[in-house]
Every structure is written in C-alpha cells, then in structure tokens.
Structure 1
Amino acid sequence: MTGSGFSTRESDQITLAVPHGTASRRTLWGRDELLDKLLAVVRDEGYEEDNGRIHVVQGLGGVGKTSVAVSVAHRLQRETDQVWWIGAQDASRFNGGLTALARQLGVPDKEIAAGRLADQLWRRLSALDGPWLLVVDNADDARLLDGPGRLALGTGLVRPHRSPRGLVLVTSRDGQTQTWGAHAVLHRLTPLGDGHGADVLLGLAGPTAGSREEAAELARRLGGLPLALNTVGRYLAAVGQRPARFRDAGETATFAEFRASLADGGAFPHAGTAAALAGIWRMSLDLLTERGHRCVRPLLEVLANFADAPVPLILADPAVLGEDEAFAGVSGAEIWDALQVLAGLGLMDLAAASGVDTVTLHPLVRNAHGSPGKYALNVRLLNRAARSEEAGIPEDVERWPLWSALTPHAVHALAFEDGSDDERLFLDAWAAANRVARSLTAQGHLSQARKLLEELVLRLGVVVGEDHPLALASRHNLANVLHDQGHHDQARTIYEDILTTQHSTLGEHHPNILTARHELARVLHDQGHHDQARAIYEDILTTQRSTLGEHHPDTLTTRHELAVLLHNQGHHDQARAIYEDILTTQHSTLGEHHPDTLTTRHNLTRLLYHQGHHDLAAAETAAVLSARRRVLGPEHRNTLVTQALLDIINAARAEP
C-alpha cells in the first residue's frame, strides 16, 4: 500500500478522463455567467485575485453542479490536454485518483509510499506551464479532502496552488465557508428560473408537449431543479413518441397534464423521477447524520409540514420542539447547527426579509419530506409563536412583517387540521389564525381577513358551537371587517346578536360587552343614527372613566369616536377640544407617529378644513400623509384616505 492508502498497482486502473454522455451534449441553460468566470481563470482574463484558489461549485443535489464541471472541462479540452477528473464519492475513488494523477505528473512511487503525495502533487501542479484543470467531483463529504492536513487551512489533499493558469474546480453540496477556508471561492448554484426551466423542458419534450407558458408553469412547480426538469422532460418525450393507444392509464404526455398530476402535493407520476429525487435527499441526510447532526431528519420534516412559503425561524422554537420525542435531548444549539448544515447542503435557504429571519425549502424537498398526518407539532409551534413576546400584538405596526410571514402558515395549519377530531388541537390552530386575522385587518388586507374569519366562524360553530366565547370572538372580528368594507347591515346584525348572547352571562359592564357596544355605535353612526350612537358612546364613557380612568387607551378610543360623531354633527368646537386633548395624551404615551396618533391627527386636520383653516389643514395633512406612507405604506387604506383628504383641501385652496 502507498502512503495515500491506495496501492500503486490499483491506481493504474483509475481513469482521470472527463465523463461523457448527455450532460456534455446538452445546452446548459442559465449557467453562462458562471461558465465564463471559471473559464476566465484558466484563460487569464482578468481574475487574478482568484488565481490559485479552490473554486467550489456548491448547491442542492440535482441542481447541476457536475453538469457545470463537465461543460467547463469539455470546453477546455479544446485548448489543452491538461484536464483531469477525480471522483470524490468515497475515499477509495478519491485517493486512487490523486495517486494516479501524481504518478502521471511524475511523482516517484517512493515519494507516494513515504506519504508525501500531496506535497509533491501540488508542487508539480503549481509548476505547470499553460492552462490546466483539475475537477474534484461530488466532494459532499469534504473531510475526505483533509488527508493528514486540513482542507480549511490550505494543507489538505486539495489545496491552493501558484500556477497562474490552473483551475481547481470542486463540486459539493457543502456550502459552509468554514469547510473550505479563506482560500476557496464558493459559487452557489441555484435552481433555474421559469424561463430557462421552460427551455430545458421544451428542448427535451418538444413543442407537442405544450406551450412555452405551460412549460414555464411546470418548471416553477418543479422548483427549477435541473435533475427534475431533465427527468420529466425525457419522460414526456418518451410518452409523447408513443401513439395514444399504447399509453398506459395515468401516463401524462403534456406539461399541463404532468403539472396537474402534481397538484396538491401529489406524487410524481413517473416512478423514476420520484426515486431519483428521494435518493438525492436520502444521501444528503445520511451524510449529515453520519456527521453527528441527529435532528436533521425530524427538523426537515417539521419545516416541510409548514406552508409552501418562507418559514419564520420563530417557528423552530427549541423549547416547543424539545417537547416532542423526536427532539428529546436536542439543544437549541443543535437545532441551529442543523439549520446551518441543511442550508449548507442546499436543502434550504436561510435569509432575512423585512427584518424577519426565515428558512425556505426547495419545493421538491418540501414535497419529499412533508408528513401531513403529523401536523400536531406544527400547530403547537405556530400557536406558541403567535402568543410570543416577539410577535407582540397583531395591531403593532412594527410587528407586521412577522405577522405577514406567519399568515400562510396559519392558513395552512387550518387546512391540516380539517377533519381532525382533536378539539384542543383545533383551538390551538384557531388561536393563531384569529390573531393573524387581526393583523390582516390592521394592515388593511380586508378581503384576506374576511375569508379567514368566515372559515374560522364556520368551523368553530361545528366544533364548539356558535355561542362559545371563542366563536363570539371570531364573529366580532368578522363584524369589524364587514363594517370596514361597508357592509353595515351585516356587521350590525352580528354585533346585536353577540350582545344578546353575552348580556345574560357577562353583564352590561363587562369589557367584552363594552367593546361590542362601542363597535355597534360605530355602525349606527355610519348608518346615520347619530343620536343612538352618541347615547351609547356617552354611556360607555361613564363606565370607562369610573373603572379605567380618563387616559386609558379604551377610554381614549371611545372619546375619539364621540369626537368624530360630534364633528359630523357640526359641533366643531367640541370635537376639536376632544381631539386636541387626546393628542396630548397620545403624543406622550404612544409617540407622534403611532397609527392611533396619526388617526387622531388626520381627523383633526379634517376638522380644521371644515372650520375654514385651509392652509393650516393642508400643511398638517401633508405631514400626516408623509408619516402614514412611512409607517403604514403607500397602499394602506388609511394612507389613501389621507391622500384623498389632501387632494380635497388643495382643490379648495386653488378655488378663486
């Protein structure tokens, strides 16, 4: 045996030739920029800072890393015969390839036998004239590249060199920078976009399989993964070449048919596709498990059970996960490490959007690992997140990005729960979804909020009954949305029904009763029943002042609505005095840019306009508009209302 662990005689049987086959003949869609950069290193075309460094093409299994390496190698073979290919799937193949290359470059057998293979090999590679390429393919377990040294420190069996026109190109699923060290250049290979994905499908299946638009839709459903695209394209081509009478039941011949077969998370109709993808994920997870990451499989399953949307990391709460037997004894540090290595292998992406840390699974990875029958843990995670201090209250504008990220998962949890006879689990799903609906309402997404609340009300009526406190809470929230949408009669009916139900059990001064009466008064006001609404407001205020105090937020809200009513009745001086007093309190407790403060400021500027103070009203309305655009966004309904008010005021100022 040699010092490399591979006998000299056996190394003679190792080929260093570049693989041929379909990958070398296909057009490599969507990879031109990367190919140009890698080729430029060898051609000495302006990438001096990358010369001598290890270039690692990294990404999800099946994303086309080996295809990129094959394409680079075949192009360079037209320019030089110094192109070598070593497989790194296992130690035997890798060590044998290094030994074969060393002998080809003239390293004496005695140097190899003495354990100096790496030093001698890289000395000779560094001294080569002209362009050369060494590909180390499928180095998913980068520990094989260490040898007696350390890959990350530049002393491994693969290391940087001093040749000005040499390229060391490694393909691997491992994209962690600490694996490769500072002397490596990582090229993250991502799935193809819809356009290039359509090119792949059309190139293989041909136009008889459907239109470009249909191909793009299927490519999107396949997540742009080249392995899936190529497998599906070849399958459709094979089916399409047979007359219809010779096709078996269930076989699909068009892009639209194949996509339809995948609807709602269905399995691939072609067993070869499913088997190939399952093998990819299994190998990746086996590798991580072997490295001691014991929770990667259950964690991937949990994440895959959430909606097909970015998953906020708040939903991977170690405290909740630790309550499940699959995570028994697993620490928060281990869960974080598992997320990092799963991302490093390309099975997921870790990113931050609008200040929310999220993880996104490739759709095919999600399909392969989701277990819809095991949703209980996901519901517990969702409920805990929705009640957490980090999430805060749904109406808090600063927390809206997080609530927006939680929304698809709350809706998905209800779909998971459908048909379950576990009442406690449903109520946990309800709690999260109800808070999400409140956030949607506050953000102005009324149609989305209404749809969710109608579903909750319907389901609660079946599970706990229409008069259950939780059902009444969702009905109340639904009435709020209906009111804001202008459906006053429907909202009024719900509020009156809630009051009838709760009066006998809670009493007229209970906070829930006061809230329902307050909302009923708002509807009555908008319906033109001003005296009725005013009587309710004044009665509520009497109770709130005695129990909560003059400056409690609930008291201020009622006073504000009373001021709006007085304003609309023409009692401008009374209304202005209330607005200004409320603003004094809100400025000191909430701040001048809080949404509630801005609402009061908006209504005060409207009153100033009605009093004839057009210039003052215009200046203040412009300030409120600027603040609402910044705080709520330019498309929020409150922002648009302020814009409309400013337009009216400016039009009045322009009149002669």
Structure 2
Amino acid sequence: MQGRASGSARVYQTGGDQYIEEHVHHYAPGSAPLFGHPWAGPAEPRGAAPDSVRIPLVGRAPGVLRDRVDVMERLRAAVAGPGGGIQVLHGLGGCGKTAVAHTLFTEAVRDHGRVGLWVNASERVSLRAGMLAVAGDRGAADGELAAAADGRRAAADLVWHHLDHSAEPWLLVLDNADDPGILEEGAWLRPSPSGTVLVTTRHATSPLWRAPGVSSYRLGVLPLEDATLVLRDLAPDAGTQESARKVARRLGCLPLALTLAGSHLAHQLLESWSMDEYDRKLSEESTALVDRGASASGGEQSRRLVGRTWQLSLDSLAEGGLPEATALLRLLSFWAADPVPLSLLMPVAQGGAGLEHLDPPLTAARVEPALRALLDHSLIDMVETDGHRCVKAHGVLLDSVAAGVPDAERDLLAEAAGRLLRAALPDGTASSRARSQARLLAPHVTGLLDRSHRHGLVTAESVRTAVRVARLVYEAGDWTAALGLASTAAKTSAEHLGDENPATIEARSGQGPILFRLGRYAEAADLLRPVHQDALRTLGPHDVRTLDAAYELQRVLHRLGDLAHARTLLEAVLDGRRHTLGEGHVATLKSRCEMLELRLARDEFDGYTTAAEELAGDCERRLGPDHLVTVWARDALARGLLRSGRGAEAEDLFRRALAGQRAGYGDGHPLVLGVLIQLSRAQYAQGKREEAAENAREVAEQRAGILGEDHPETVAARDWYAEVRAVPPADGVAVP
C-alpha cells in the first residue's frame, strides 16, 4: 500500500488498531511556527522562523556609531562581566536603540568571544519562534522543541534551561520589545549566570524594567555635532559641515531621520540636491521627503519610515483601549516641539475644550490616561522648564502626526489649540513670573500660526492671540523673540486676512514698540507711518488701535529728534484716550508719563515738577503704588528733580523706582537698567563719584550683554561711564 503527500498533507500507514490524533493550526501567511513534528519530514519555509538567530535583524546598521559613549561603556562592562544582568534601552522610536544593540552585539562576538543571539520581540509569534530557535542553537533536541511547540512543555522554561547551561557565554538581544506584556506573559525575560540580556523598547515605564538585576537606560536624540557627522558619514559630498548642521538641526538630531536623509542624498539618481537644497525642500515636504531615503524592500518597513514608525505605537495603544492617545498627540501637533506646560492642558482634563467631537473623542476623563500612555511609550517626555512641569514631543514626530490629521478635524483642532493658549495667558495685571511663563507659550503660538497657515485656517482670533503673546514676551524683556513672533503674526495675517483687516493692523503696529526697544528707530518709523495711516482710514481717528499706532509712532519720532511732530501726535493720543478710555485708564496715564518725557526733551521745565507730582499721585491712587506705570511716573518726577538740581531727593526717588522696576520686571530686565543709569546720574550730581561709576559700569556691561555692543542705549551707557570716570563734578552741579 503506497501513498504520496504534498504541501501540508500527511500520509499515515498502520497495521492493527491505532488511534491517531493530529492538531492542525492555521496561520496567516508569514506567521507559521518554526518547528513541526520531527517525524513529519522537512518543513517548508515559514515566515516567522528566523533564518538565523546569530545575525542581527536590522535594516541599516550605521558604519560608525556616533555619540552614545556613556551608555556603550556601561553596556560593554555588562557584556564583559560574568553575566546575570538584564540591560534595557528605552526611548522614542527612531532614536537609534537598535543601532546601539547592533554595535554591542558585534563587539561582544568579535572582542569578547560571546555567542550573539538576536530575537525580534515585536510580537508574540516572532518572539516565541525566535526564542525556540535560541534553544535549538544552545543544544535543545528536536523532541524537546516539538514538545514546546505543541504546548506539551513550557517553552520559556526550555529556552532558559539551555541558556543557563550553555557551554559558551552569550549575549541575547530582544529587539523592539515595545509591548513588555508579551515578555511578562510567558516569563520570557530572565537573568542567567551564563550571559547578558539586552532589551530594546519604546516602553519607558514597565514594572519589568524595575525588577532586581535590571538596568535601564534612556536613549534620546544625538548632540548636534554628532548628528551633523551622521549626515557627513552617509553623504560626505552633499555639502559643507555648516550645511549638514542646518539639516541636522531641522531634523531634530533624530538618528532615523538623519540616516534616511543622508541615504537619500547619497543615492540620488535623477536629482542631485545639495544639503542646502535638501534643507529648503524639508520646509515643503517634511517627513514625506525624509522617507524617500528608506529602502524599497525588507521586512519591518514601517519601522524604517519616519512617517510610520510612531504609528506603530499609536496603533498598539488604540488596540489596548486608548485611542485617545492619538487625539491628544494630534492636539500637540498643532503647537511646537518646545516644552508644553501641563497647565496648558488642564482645561482639556476639566472638559469643555471642544475635543469631545474628535474621532476618537478626547473626553475629560481620558486625558490623564492618554497622557500617561504617551509618556510610557516614549512618544513624549516629561521635562521641567523655568520651574514649570512640561511635556515635550519631537518635532519630526509632530510633523508626522500633523500630516495624518483628517481634513475634517483640522479646523476643530486648530480652534481648540488656540482656545487653550488664550486660556493660559495671564491678564494685563500679571506678575513678572506670569509674563515670563508666557514666554513658554510663544513658540506654540508660532506653531499654531504655521499649521493654520499651511491649511488655510488663519483667523483674526489666532492672530490677536499671537499679538498678545508677543506683547507679553516683549514685556518680559525677550525683545528678539517678541519681534519674531510679532513679525510672523503680521505677515501671516496680511496674507490670509488682508492688509486692512483690524487684526493685521494690530499685528503690524505691535512690531513698533519692539523695534523701538531694539534701537531700530528708523525701521520702526518706516513701519509705523503707513500703519497709522491705514488705521486712520479704516478704523477712524478715535479707535483704540489707531491711538495705539499713533502712540508708538510718536515714541520713535521722539528718539529720531522730530520732537514737534511727536508732540502733535502725543497730544492727539492723550485727548483721544481721555475721551475713549477715561482719565483713569492705564493707557491714558501712560500717555501722561510719555508727555513728561517729551517735555524734558524739549526743555519745557515750567510747571514740570508740579505736573509730575500730580501724575504720580493719580497713578498711585488709581493703579496702586506697585504698578509699573506708577513706578514710571515716579521715575519721571525724579528726572525733573535731578534737572532742577535736587539731586538728593532725586536719588531717593530713583531708588524707589528702581525697587519697583526690579519687583515688576526682575533684575535682568533691560528696562531696569534705564532707572539704574539715572540713579548713577543723581549720585554723580552729588559728588558720589565711586557709587556713580560702579552703577554706570554695571549698566554699560549689562546693556552690552543684553542689547548688543552697537545698540544706541549701550553706546550711551558707555559714554556716560567714560564721563563719570574722567573728571569729578563740582559739588551741586546738576547732570542732564
């Protein structure tokens, strides 16, 4: 009796009574188990079976591993030791965990005589097949493997029995173990006296990593110089060191993105972009451009694409019952890659942020679990910035996530992101700390404007939010950052809303005071003149925004020496603010302070002291003794006293004004130095040369550091310091 079988068929021949039981398991293509019955003949190739556990299963190993010095020293020490340790590398997808593992694997085999064993631990099937293959490599018999494959013997026990009794020391790499539950369910992760285990994972907080004998290391992005070298390693002829540095910075120094970018530049056929051209293209295509450097073939392709690598983690979270993590990350993608204060997300956790209509919805009760899940899977990090607890995501990740937001949800997310930013802003009477906190929000306002610009979602409200934040950053003393934000707001508003839209006029006008403080007086005047005319024509002479533009213009004209025109404008502003806002409004009182400064510049001393005393009293009564406009009024009064030869009284008042400025702005604020130099002048007028010189020196040095050597106020401070040191004044001489 003869029979033939093909494929998965089996032929059984028997004499007498036999009872035959066969279990047939059906697997998806590429996922069949490694081991069949030892009597069944040669097995056909099965996709889950690793071709070798002695060769690292990596897509593209780096020729040179850049940076990672500290972690490699610790890992080398663990491999060179007697064994028994478990080492865990965790971090964001694409940060180079597998590259570090590959380098260690190569060194362990080459330099330490270890048997290198590599298992793909990304899913249950590949982990089980790989670990059984490890057991076979370490001497397990076919019958043992068959029993483990059939479930008649505990598979993990078999594997670790043979690892523990290995005649040769080994290094076992469990790569891409992004779901630690898979390791825990089968007890696949164990220490052994015969070797060292290295796990790579995106999961940062598993209890497995806190077990005795486990050492974990967080892997982040590369330092800028090392990231630059990665690009130069791959594409040495594509551009200069500085060009490579620009691309590395734009890619956030993420190893995966750097590798793909360098590979694309090195293997172009129809195009021959330089580093500089690639940098320009990145602003248009972002992650889509980077992914062109990926290999067109090979398994685990998703892990080798910047645009897909993090989706693996989000898909896993969704399957585990946390689809809200995707919604939260999409919200974060409408801001910047800078630290996001947790306080900014608080309204979402309290409900009412309008995110319940997303798909998936982000409800108040699910914000905390979603946030924790993103942290656990290394999609965001917890950082502390200026005393504020923040979360931070990588810029390339956010670009990738933003590109995948459904069109129907962009408007909703942009609106919610803007509403949350506005809710986090301090009011007009905010403290110095609150204004400083606003500096943390500035990059996120810029990020929101950029996302809105790309998708045509710019609104007057989003522009006004940017103008308001720019003003707060300006008041906090970071004038360069404030100008960048104000300029972006003005340009974006003009493009989407038009030059004569009130929001655009506000944004253009908002650049004026910043240019003024930066000493760019002519540039400020050229900007503010047409803004004032547009405001007059479209809003009318009594509109608050028209008055604001005129106020800023007159300040610039004052510094440029056009005192007559400045006086005319300021009188109109003061009358308009009195009529529109009232006598006690802070803007009206600021206009009166400005008028006193203009009178000093025009040498109009008649009645000056009386007017200044009256203004200081009004400010204290209406705004309070500690308000910064009250402090400004005291400063104006002190200047008048100094001009009239009352140096001792002026010094006392300048000291009060200085204390008020420091309380309101902080010690390092540039405006504090303006009062300090006046204090020096009052001291000099009284013959206190050493004190005057010391304060003058401090102002000159700090202005140079904050404003730059060529700023007009730095030059004036240096001139005053030189004058103070040159010739001592005669007693009682007033100093202008």
The TM tier, using the shorter chain, reads 0.7 to 0.9
Please name the residue that 1:131 is paired with: 169
**What amino acid is aligned across from residue 277 of structure 2 in structure 1?**
E
1:263 aligns with 2:291: no
1:170 deviates by: 0.8
Please name the residue that 1:303 is paired with: 332
1:238 deviates by: 2.9
* Alpha-carbon contact 1:583-1:597 (below 8 Å) kept: no
Q: 1:9 aligns with which of 13, 19, 36?
A: 36
Change in CA separation of 1:376 and 1:590 when aligned onto 2, cut-off 3 Å: closer
**What amino acid is aligned across from residue 650 of structure 2 in structure 1?**
A
Compare 323-332 and 362-371 and name the one that shifted more.
323-332
1:300 deviates by: 1.3
Please name the residue that 1:463 is paired with: 502
What CA deviation, in whole Å up to 9, does each residue of 1:303-339 have, x standing for no partner? 1211343333333232477432257985667434433
Compare 643-652 and 602-611 and name the one that shifted more.
643-652
Please name the residue that 2:188 is paired with: 157
Q: 1:426 aligns with which of 457, 460, 478?
A: 460
Q: 2:117 aligns with which of 81, 84, 89?
A: 84
Q: Secondary structure at the residue paired with 1:382?
A: helix
Cα distance in 1 between the residues matched to 2:159 and 2:601: 85
Q: Secondary structure at the residue paired with 1:167?
A: strand
Change in CA separation of 1:635 and 1:485 when aligned onto 2, cut-off 3 Å: farther
Please name the residue that 1:635 is paired with: 706
Cα distance in 2 between the residues matched to 1:353 and 1:633: 26
1:204 aligns with 2:234: yes
Cα distance in 2 between the residues matched to 1:254 and 1:591: 46
Cα distance in 1 between the residues matched to 2:583 and 2:674: 29
1:538 deviates by: 4.9
Change in CA separation of 1:616 and 1:439 when aligned onto 2, cut-off 3 Å: same
1:414 deviates by: 4.7
Q: Secondary structure at the residue paired with 2:267?
A: helix
Please name the residue that 1:613 is paired with: 688
Please name the residue that 1:338 is paired with: 370
Change in CA separation of 1:180 and 1:71 when aligned onto 2, cut-off 3 Å: same
Change in CA separation of 1:290 and 1:553 when aligned onto 2, cut-off 3 Å: same
What CA deviation, in whole Å up to 9, does each residue of 1:346-402 have, x standing for no partner? 3333211322333332222121122675422221111111137xxx856x4334542
What CA deviation, in whole Å up to 9, does each residue of 1:399-456 have, x standing for no partner? 4542322222334445556699999x52354245324324324416268449728966
The within-5 A match list for 1:376-415 is: 376-387=415-426, 393=429, 396-399=431-434, 401-414=436-449
Cα distance in 1 between the residues matched to 2:159 and 2:707: 65
1:440 aligns with 2:479: no
1:226 aligns with 2:255: yes
Q: Secondary structure at the residue paired with 1:325?
A: coil
* Alpha-carbon contact 1:63-1:225 (below 8 Å) kept: yes
Q: Secondary structure at the residue paired with 1:367?
A: helix
Cα distance in 1 between the residues matched to 2:114 and 2:666: 72
1:23 aligns with 2:23: no
Change in CA separation of 1:124 and 1:332 when aligned onto 2, cut-off 3 Å: farther
* Alpha-carbon contact 2:288-2:307 (below 8 Å) kept: no
1:187 aligns with 2:217: yes
1:592 deviates by: 11
**What amino acid is aligned across from residue 281 of structure 2 in structure 1?**
S
Compare 192-201 and 102-111 and name the one that shifted more.
102-111
Greater Rg, structure 1 or structure 2?
Answer: 2
Cα distance in 2 between the residues matched to 1:497 and 1:420: 42
Q: Secondary structure at the residue paired with 2:64?
A: coil
Cα distance in 1 between the residues matched to 2:233 and 2:375: 31
Compare 72-81 and 524-533 and name the one that shifted more.
524-533
Higher RCO, Cα 8 Å, sep 6+: 1
Change in CA separation of 1:23 and 1:380 when aligned onto 2, cut-off 3 Å: same
1:57 aligns with 2:94: no
Cα distance in 2 between the residues matched to 1:32 and 1:228: 21
Q: Which runs of 5+ in 1 are unaligned?
A: 149-155
Cα distance in 2 between the residues matched to 1:483 and 1:441: 21
1:466 deviates by: 4.2
Please name the residue that 1:523 is paired with: 598
Change in CA separation of 1:253 and 1:265 when aligned onto 2, cut-off 3 Å: closer
1:263 deviates by: 1.8
Cα distance in 2 between the residues matched to 1:186 and 1:332: 33
1:565 aligns with 2:640: yes
Q: Secondary structure at the residue paired with 1:77?
A: helix
The within-5 A match list for 1:526-605 is: 526-531=601-606, 536-538=611-613, 540-541=615-616, 543-544=618-619, 554-555=629-630, 557-576=632-651, 578-579=653-654, 582=656, 603-605=678-680
Cα distance in 1 between the residues matched to 2:263 and 2:421: 41
* Alpha-carbon contact 1:265-1:367 (below 8 Å) kept: no
Q: Secondary structure at the residue paired with 1:256?
A: helix
* Alpha-carbon contact 1:524-1:532 (below 8 Å) kept: no
* Alpha-carbon contact 1:99-1:117 (below 8 Å) kept: yes
Cα distance in 2 between the residues matched to 1:481 and 1:307: 34
1:17 deviates by: 2.9
* Alpha-carbon contact 2:172-2:198 (below 8 Å) kept: yes
1:132 deviates by: 1.0
Change in CA separation of 1:56 and 1:584 when aligned onto 2, cut-off 3 Å: closer
Change in CA separation of 1:510 and 1:8 when aligned onto 2, cut-off 3 Å: closer
1:69 deviates by: 2.0
* Alpha-carbon contact 1:87-1:136 (below 8 Å) kept: yes
Cα distance in 2 between the residues matched to 1:172 and 1:422: 38
TM-score by length of structure 2 reads 0.70
1:231 deviates by: 2.6
Q: Secondary structure at the residue paired with 2:288?
A: coil
Compare 364-373 and 597-606 and name the one that shifted more.
597-606
1:176 deviates by: 2.0
* Alpha-carbon contact 1:305-1:378 (below 8 Å) kept: yes
What CA deviation, in whole Å up to 9, does each residue of 1:569-609 have, x standing for no partner? 323355356557x5799699989979899976764453232
1:253 deviates by: 3.1
1:124 deviates by: 4.8
Q: 1:168 aligns with which of 189, 192, 197?
A: 197
* Alpha-carbon contact 2:88-2:215 (below 8 Å) kept: yes
**What amino acid is aligned across from residue 184 of structure 2 in structure 1?**
D
Q: 1:293 aligns with which of 322, 331, 339?
A: 322
What CA deviation, in whole Å up to 9, does each residue of 1:244-292 have, x standing for no partner? xxx3xxx453322222111256463476458722221211111122233
**What amino acid is aligned across from residue 424 of structure 2 in structure 1?**
A
Q: Give me the identity figure in percent.
A: 25
1:168 deviates by: 0.2
Compare 256-265 and 487-496 and name the one that shifted more.
487-496
Change in CA separation of 1:144 and 1:491 when aligned onto 2, cut-off 3 Å: farther
1:94 aligns with 2:123: no
* Alpha-carbon contact 2:84-2:191 (below 8 Å) kept: yes
Cα distance in 1 between the residues matched to 2:223 and 2:663: 49
**What amino acid is aligned across from residue 426 of structure 1 in structure 2?**
A
TM-score by length of structure 1 reads 0.77
* Alpha-carbon contact 1:86-1:137 (below 8 Å) kept: yes
Q: What RMSD, in angstroms, separates the aligned Cα atoms of the two structures?
A: 4.7
**What amino acid is aligned across from residue 197 of structure 1 in structure 2?**
A
1:87 deviates by: 1.4
Cα distance in 2 between the residues matched to 1:587 and 1:227: 49
1:96 deviates by: 2.5
The within-5 A match list for 1:311-322 is: 311-317=340-346, 318=348, 319=350, 322=353
